[in-house]
Amino acid sequence: MPTNQRTYLPNDQIPCGFAVVLAQELRVRDWRIRIEDMLGAIAKVQRYTETLSQDQFLKDEKTLDATVRNLIVIGEAARHVPDEIMQRYPDVPWRRMQGLRNLAVHEYFGVDSAILWETIKRDLPPLLPHLRRILEESK
C-alpha cells in the first residue's frame, strides 16, 4: 500500500464512530513544524481570550475547553522537540509545557481554571519571542 494512502476500518468496526487511521501511517513531523504548531496554538488561545475577563473566561465552557485543547497541543509539540534543541534554549520551559499537557490529558479533573488563566496571561506571551527566535535561528 502506498504510504500516502490512508486505510480506515470498515464502518461496522469503527469504535465510537471515529475513523481510525492505522499507526503505520503516522508521519514523523520535523521539530520546526512542532514549534510552528506551538506558535499557532498560542495565537489561538490569545485570540479566544483577548476580550474576556478572568470571570468571563471561568464561566465560558467552550472557550475553556478550546483553551485546554490548545495547551495540550503546545505540550504535545514540546514533547517532540529534540533534546539538543531543548538544551540549546533552556529559557523555554519545555518540561513545564509537557507537564501541563500531561495534567490536562491524564488528570483533567484536577485542572484548576484559575491557574489556566494565569498561564494564559502570564506564561504564554513571553514564549512567543523565544519560539520565533528558535525558528529564525534554525533556518
Each residue's pLDDT tens digit, 16-59: 544 444 343 445 789 999 999 999 999 999 999 999 999 999 99
Active-site position among 47, 79, 88, 106 = 106
Alpha helices in the chain (DSSP H): 31-49, 54-59, 61-79, 83-88, 94-106, 113-118, 124-137
Active site residue 106: yes
pLDDT at residue number 5: 53
pLDDT band at 13 (very low <50, low <70, confident <90, very high): low
Active site residue 101: yes
Q: Which residues contact 42 (CB under 8 A, 6 or more apart)?
A: 70, 74, 124, 127, 128, 131
Q: What CA–CA distance (Å, rounded) separates 26 from 16?
A: 21
Mean of pLDDT values over 76-97 = 96
pTM for this structure? 0.79
Q: Which residues contact 137 (CB under 8 A, 6 or more apart)?
A: none
Active-site position among 47, 101, 130, 133 = 101
Q: Which residues contact 30 (CB under 8 A, 6 or more apart)?
A: none
